[in-house]
Every structure is written in C-alpha cells, then in structure tokens.
Amino acid sequence: MITVALDAMGSDLGPGPLVKGAAELTLEDRDLSVLLVGDEPTLSQHLAEQRYDPSKLAVVHADGVVDMVKKPAEALDQTPNCSILTAARLVRDGEADALVSSGSTGAVILAAARTFKRLPGIRRTALAAVYPTERTHGPREDPFALMLDVGATLNCTAEDLVGFAVMGTAYSRIISDIGRPRVALLSNGSESNKGTPAIVKAHQMLVQLESVEFQGNVEGLDIPRGTVDVVVCDGFLGNVVLKMLEGVSEVVSDLAKDAYESKFVWRVGLTMLSKRLHQLRAMTDWKQYGGAPVLGFDQVVIKAHGRSNHRAIRNALIVAAKAVRRDLSGEIRRALPRPMQPTDPASPKS
C-alpha cells in the first residue's frame, strides 16, 4: 500500500476539491491510501459530505496555512506547523511515501528543500510541467510533452541541465511509459554551437550520455509541434515559455468563446468542428491534467495546479503513487552520468 500525504489547505479553491478527490480515490480498487493534512475540524467537516473508505484515508492535523502574499521563506518561518511542512515531515519520517500539494509553487519547493535531501549527484531541483503539443507522445499517444525546468532554478550550469535531462527521462519513462523518451535542449538554433555557454557545454555532455536519448537542440518552433518528448531549459526560460503557452491558450479560448456566443449559426459550425477544436480546447484544459513533479529530491513531490478540481487531485495522487511504486529516485540515480554519481568510486571528480 502506497500512502500519499496530501497538503489539503493550499488550494485556491479551498479544501473541497482536495477532500473530494482523495475520498473518491479511496473507493477505487487501488493500492493507495491518503493522509489529508490540514485543519482537522475543517477537513472532517468536508469529509462528512463525502463517501470514502476510512481504511484508506485519515486526517492529520496541521496548524496554519502558508500566507501566499508573503515570500515563501518568511511564510514558512511564521507557520512552522503549517499543512505543507507537516505533510512533508510525514513523508520524511516514513509515515507517507509521497507528497502532493496544490499550494504556491515557491512554498512547495521550499518546504521540500527544508525537509528532504537532494538526490546524490543532483545539485539543483527542477519543476517539470506537461504542456499540449500537436504531435502525440509514447504508447498512449499523449498529446502532451514534458518541459523542465519551468521555474525552480532560474540560472543553470551545464551540469544542472544534464541533471534535468536525466530526471525528465526518468519521469517520462515511469509516468508516460515511453521506453526511450526523446530529449532536447531548448536553444536559439539547432546547431550544437548555438545557445548560452551552459547550453553548448550541456549539449557536449549529453551527446556522450547513453542513458538519455538526446536529440540535440530544438527551437521555439518545436515546442508547440511537440518534436521531442522532453524539453530541457533553465527555469527562467521555462517559466516564460510555459506562461506564454497559457496566454496563447487564453487568447484562443477567448476568440472561440466570442465566436460561440455571437451567433447561433456559428455555434452550429463550431459544434461541427468538435474533433479539431477539441485539440484547441485541450490547450486551455491542460491545467486540469494533474500535477507537475518537483524533481531532484529523495522523495516524490507533485505540485498540483492551484485551481485543480477533484479529478485533477485524483490524478495527481495516482501519479505520485506510480512514481513511488516504479522507483523514480532509483531510475534517476541509475541514469546519471558517472562523473555526476558521487557514490561512484571510479570518479575522482565527485
């Protein structure tokens, strides 16, 4: 039985969708239990409205919620027993196997950094996100690719980028069942000499690395096309790119909505277009597609979107359990290049 600690207080929508998502999941035939972490009276009240399997769900009390207006460090300092820190400690202490939170990204990453260890050989953590693409990926033909880092580490060395490539490969193998995920560095040209010094050096290192199916550099054009399964970049670039995709989704959605509302005959036309427009709509719906992993810690951490509905929370919990069951940390450790494996006695650099 895998146990997931769910920070039940961080959502923009209140604890409702989190409690509902966890409760419904306990009724499914899965080897998975949930610790709901947060204000006990509030959570119990929400739980009273749900059907659930009490053998697979328990509430763990935590005091206070992280103040999202404040800086994460200050907010965590002021509420040392808040839900995200309490949930992280449950994982650290072996009471749970993975952490899921829909709290602010900064607070989740910082809580993990204060509670967990980094994986040996990984110097910097990465937030990975799935985003919609034209081409499909893997045996399930997912219309999503993975991008990392999208905001955890703004300025990356070549070694950091190589670490991200390894972690993205491991996550994509484990969660999307892609045997050899195609990985590329995001740069300003496909040639190996294009990009910042860190990108050029990471390119040279990745060419040598057998555990990563490295496809070289991709450009901005390749992001919406979905040329590769895993796009690697620093957190500054990834943040801008990801938010831009959200912005494009919004604009497309606005245009479609305007058209839809304007005239009945257009509505008929739009309805007819359903199959293709469904793909456009997927671009606006992907935020509901579960969680984004925070990679690089010795524990599984999934950051769910702040406005996740109960279905997205359910998916995030399942993804977290899958990552534990299939040993994401071991998969990452085995794929690191030898000089980045600190426990490797053959490497004098470590």
Return residues touching a copy of itself (CB under 8 A): 134, 151, 154-155, 186-188, 195-196, 219-225, 235-237, 239-248, 250-252, 254-256, 258-259, 262-263, 265-266, 268-273, 275-277, 279-280
Ordered alpha helix ranges (H), 177-227? 197-208, 222-225
CA distance between the termini of the chain: 36
Angle, CA 32 vertex, CA 27 and CA 37 arms, to 5°:
90
Take residue 5 and report the two structure tokens written for it: 């600690």
**By C-beta, is 49 or 191 nearer to a copy of itself?**
191
- Give the shortest CB-275-to-a copy of itself separation in angstroms: 8
Q: Minimum distance from CB of 258 to a copy of itself (Å)? A: 6
Nearer to a copy of itself, 13 or 154 (CB): 154
- Least distance in angstroms from the C-beta of 259 to a copy of itself: 4
Phi, then psi, of 201 in degrees rounded to 5: -70, -40
Tokens linked to 173:
């193998």
Q: How many residues does this entry show for the chain?
A: 350
Q: How far is the CB of 252 from a copy of itself (least distance, A)?
A: 7
Residue placing its CB nearer to a copy of itself in the complex, 15 or 151: 151
Q: CB-wise, 47 or 148, nearer to a copy of itself?
A: 148
Q: What is the SS3 assignment for 176?
A: helix
Q: Are residues 36 and 45 in contact, defined by beta-carbon separation less than 8 angstroms? A: no
Nearer to a copy of itself, 113 or 277 (CB): 277
Closest CB 155 distance from a copy of itself, rounded Å: 7
Q: How far is the CB of 267 from a copy of itself (least distance, A)?
A: 9
CB neighbour class for 220 (10 Å; exposed up to 12, middle 13-18, buried from 19): exposed
The backbone region for 195, taken as left when phi is positive above 0, alpha when psi lies in -120 to 50, beta otherwise, is left
Nearer Cβ to a copy of itself (2/158): 158
